[in-house]
Structure 1
Amino acid sequence: MSTLKSYLQLTRPANIVTAIADILAGMAIVRYPFEANPAYWLVLSTVGLYGGGVVLNDVFDAKLDAVERPERPIPSGKVPLQSAAFMGISLLVLGIISAGLFSLLSVEIAIAVALLAVLYNRFAKHSALFGPLTMGLCRGGNLLLGMSAINTSLPEWGWLALVPIAYIGAITLISQDEVHGGKRRSLYIAASLYTSVHAIQFLVAVNQKNGSMALLLIALHALLVGLPLWKALQNPIAPNIGKAVKAGVLSLIVMDAAWCIAFGNWPVALGVLLLLPLSILLARAFAVT
């Protein structure tokens, strides 16, 4: 059981739940008829893509983690490095194949996300600029993967993928100082990106005549990410930064639910919100960052 848990830890299960929320939000944005076809393939695709990406993150960071985080599955010896590498690649392939079983556009987006994940893990992650940008592109691609459920809607709504790019860029920027503590400058930049995200969400919701209802979830999301970030700004030590990163990741579900309401899909918004307690529960058993 401990071995199985170690392998699961590599995939960050709580984070994978947030990736599923992205897919549902993307489908809600393009007004996909969920009752006709739940699009299981796209959900399975994001499980593979996200899981594979974070597993390979630990593979590429094995030497660094041996010094900074020796308790992790690979440096602790609970999961052999080669086994983890095979697992990560297999999950990415699963994500691509699953997308291909849905549509040609979906598989093209999945391939792009997989390549971006490898690029981030191998080269970009240690760059203050390209690390947050590349990780943001991965999450933006994930939202586009959900939108690919109705490919004719991408020209109209594809630009919304810029929002998770900015949001995840902010989280990644914060997380770069998670081990040793950080500087307030990065936290202020993240705060400005968060504010921009909330403003865009609200404006889109107003344009769709759903501003007042979406505002409730947007405000909740701002509270969930704002309080930990404020504490980190007051005292930018590693534990506070870690909490800010964790809050940013898990509360993605609330942001995705806000997208669903912004486009008038209450049932899917409720379904997305129900993923939050699952993600929180998984976060208690498995590390998020």
Structure 2
Amino acid sequence: MSQPPTKPTDISAIVSWLKLIRVPNLATAIADPLAGFLIVGGFYQYENLPLGGWLAIASSLCLYAGGMVQNDVVDLQIDQTERPHRPLPSKQVSFELAQFVSIGLLLFGVVLACVASVSMRDGAPAVIGVMLTAAICGYNCYAKGTWLGPLFMGGCRALNWSLGMVIAGSASFPLWMIPCGMGVYVMGITLFARDEAGVGRRPQLFAGALIMSIGLLVAGLAPLVSMEVEAANVPHWLVEGRLIAWLALWGVLGVSILIRCVQAIINPVPQRMQSAVGNAIMSLITLDAVLVLAFCGEQWAVSVLALLVWFVLGRRIAAVT
């Protein structure tokens, strides 16, 4: 006797949701606030991460995932034509459920930031959480596709870093160069990625690569400036004469990112541009780890760098962009 047809497994539903939230990118959402928390908190010794660090990570994860789902909700009509394989246009995930989940994740992310504010009796985490949520919604609903899009996306990344920093405590001026630089770097990635599905425009690609370079320069100078102006709070790992080695490491990493961008500018076909963008996004984790290395040492840097495993494995399930 023939068996009745089997229903789709729960695995396929889980995979659809992982694609919807772009699961590999969530690793970068962890790396940013974690790095900010470690650097401002002055974690020189490897120890258990306190509650504040976990709240920063959890809030960032919820806000990032909620923003990714909201992005596909807003883009449903476009995706029905250009990306019919995505979970919403292919009806692998219900549109109504996706709306509900995106709102729920964004709200819960803000709640977690507020919990951090209450626990430390400081309103800064709640303010940053609200600002980050507003930036995410502003990008998805209004700025995407306009000249403001890269600015909003860079702002989201800078605020994500800032969330971990303010939960850790009060940060000095040189440390704020890091979220500013990383925000500018992501602004450049966003501009560079605009034509990745078609034939790229060289002036736009060049501008994106230039902005990325400026962001890398600003963030990379933070440890040096910190050493010059903060005698009482110099980067821990660099005090033993490792500054030149660290700057060389940062420079090599920056060049490796920009080489792919140059290759895409020379031959602006989708494959080259997508490779450059994917590498630039993945490098966010490495950049965060190298910054943590300067201020906190090898053990914490390796902990951040380990998120690359998540990114690489997640990329087998879902696209980065």
* TM-score, length basis structure 2: 0.84
Are 2:16 and 2:93, in contact at CA under 8 Å, matched by a contact in 1? yes
| SS of residue paired to 2:179 | helix
Q: CA–CA distance in 1 between the matches of 2:90 and 2:148?
A: 30
Q: Give the deviation of 1:148 after TM superposition.
A: 1.0
Between 97-106 and 59-68, report the one with greater CA deviation: 97-106
Q: Which has the larger radius of gyration?
A: 2
Residue 113 of structure 1 is aligned with which of 115, 121, 132?
Answer: 132
| SS of residue paired to 1:102 | helix
Residue 159 of structure 2 is aligned with which of 138, 141, 147?
Answer: 141
Q: Give the deviation of 1:159 after TM superposition.
A: 4.2
User: What's 2:231 paired with?
Assistant: none
Q: 1:60 to 1:240 in 2, by over 3 A?
A: same
Residue 78 of structure 1 is aligned with which of 92, 96, 104?
Answer: 92
User: What's 2:8 paired with?
Assistant: none
User: What's 1:130 paired with?
Assistant: 148
User: What's 1:180 paired with?
Assistant: 198
Between 201-210 and 105-114, report the one with greater CA deviation: 201-210
Residue 269 of structure 1 is aligned with which of 289, 296, 301?
Answer: 301
**What is the aligned-residue identity percentage?**
33
Q: CA–CA distance in 1 between the matches of 2:56 and 2:80?
A: 35
Between 192-201 and 205-214, report the one with greater CA deviation: 205-214
Q: CA–CA distance in 2 between the matches of 1:6 and 1:217?
A: 38
Unaligned runs of 5+ in 1: none
| SS of residue paired to 1:222 | helix
Unaligned runs of 5+ in 2: 1-10, 118-122, 228-234
Residue 166 of structure 1 is aligned with which of 184, 190, 193?
Answer: 184
Q: CA–CA distance in 2 between the matches of 1:213 and 1:89?
A: 45
Q: Give the deviation of 1:227 after TM superposition.
A: 3.1
Between 103-112 and 16-25, report the one with greater CA deviation: 103-112
User: What's 1:31 paired with?
Assistant: 41
Q: CA–CA distance in 1 between the matches of 2:310 and 2:81?
A: 32
Which AA in structure 2 matches 1:188? F
User: What's 1:201 paired with?
Assistant: 219
Note the alpha carbon deviations across 1:134-155, whole angstroms, 9 max, x for none: 0110010000001012332266
Q: Give the deviation of 1:36 after TM superposition.
A: 6.4
Q: Give the deviation of 1:214 after TM superposition.
A: 2.6
User: What's 2:275 paired with?
Assistant: 243
Q: CA–CA distance in 1 between the matches of 2:89 and 2:273?
A: 23
User: What's 2:315 paired with?
Assistant: 283
Q: 1:68 to 1:223 in 2, by over 3 A?
A: same
Residue 21 of structure 2 is aligned with which of 6, 11, 26?
Answer: 11
Q: 1:16 to 1:224 in 2, by over 3 A?
A: farther
Note the alpha carbon deviations across 1:184-216, whole angstroms, 9 max, x for none: 112111221222233223322233363334335
Which AA in structure 2 matches 1:115? A
Q: CA–CA distance in 1 between the matches of 2:17 and 2:67?
A: 14
Q: CA–CA distance in 1 between the matches of 2:252 and 2:314?
A: 21
Q: CA–CA distance in 2 between the matches of 1:168 and 1:50?
A: 15
Q: CA–CA distance in 2 between the matches of 1:24 and 1:72?
A: 30
Are 2:129 and 2:163, in contact at CA under 8 Å, matched by a contact in 1? yes
| SS of residue paired to 2:61 | helix
